[in-house]
Amino acid sequence: MVKVGLSLLVAVALAAVTAATAPATVAGRAAVLVLLGDELMSSVTVTWETKISFRGQVVRDLSHERLTTTNGRYAFAIPFQPSVPGIVVTTSVSGIQGYKSDHGKCTRPALPLEKAISSNVRETYCATIYHRSCPKVGLGWKRCKCHVTYTIRATVLDENNKLMRLTSLESGGFKTCAQHLSNSDMQAVTAMGAKVLGR
């Protein structure tokens, strides 16, 4: 157990040192997550999962980021640490929660980013956001249920502010939306991406 623990600590330490000295961008990586929705007029919280694999061992780290808006559009900079020989570092969205809390009891849509590839196709990805309520049903008892809050749309941009296509959506709760990005949505998405990327 001690050996495994030390291996994981070494992986984390080396990844952190490399991140501090590596270039800011890597070709083809997912850099910006954009969320869209007419009902997203308050806040959204994204949970990032960073996975570090080292000599057969894996350590996972979760971090939460909350943004507020008044126009139903959010742009998140995707956390990034570069991989080095022997250490593989990946970051994905492990869950998204809307402004109404689910108290950790409802299914949160996840978005795997490891296999995102740059593409000219204006695909967006849809998922359902839930909240949890527990109304009293008599004698002090509560009946808790998860309720649909709204549908959210997501798209991903690379470090060059170009759209990316996601190729592994099987288990995350997202699916390809029926409609592609409109021209106005596309303009908004690229403008938000440029701002996040500092361009």
Residue 132 identity: R
Residue 101, Ramachandran bin (φ over 0: left; ψ between -120 and 50: alpha; else beta):
beta
Helix (H) or strand (E) run with residue 49 in it = strand 43-54
Query: What residue numbers bound the domain in which 12 lies?
Result: 2-197
Task: Please give the tally of structural domains in the chain.
Answer: 1
Report pLDDT digits (tens) over 53-105.
888 888 888 999 999 888 888 999 999 877 778 888 888 999 998 888 888 88
Sign of CA dihedral 159, 39, 48, 198: positive
Report pLDDT digits (tens) over 150-191.
889 999 999 999 999 988 777 778 999 988 899 999 999 999
Please state which of the ranges 1-10, 36-45, 55-64 shows the lowest mean pLDDT. Answer: 1-10
pTM of the model: 0.81
Compute CA distances 100 → 44, 45, 89, whole Å: 9, 10, 32
What is the β-pairing status of strands 30-36 and 73-77? antiparallel
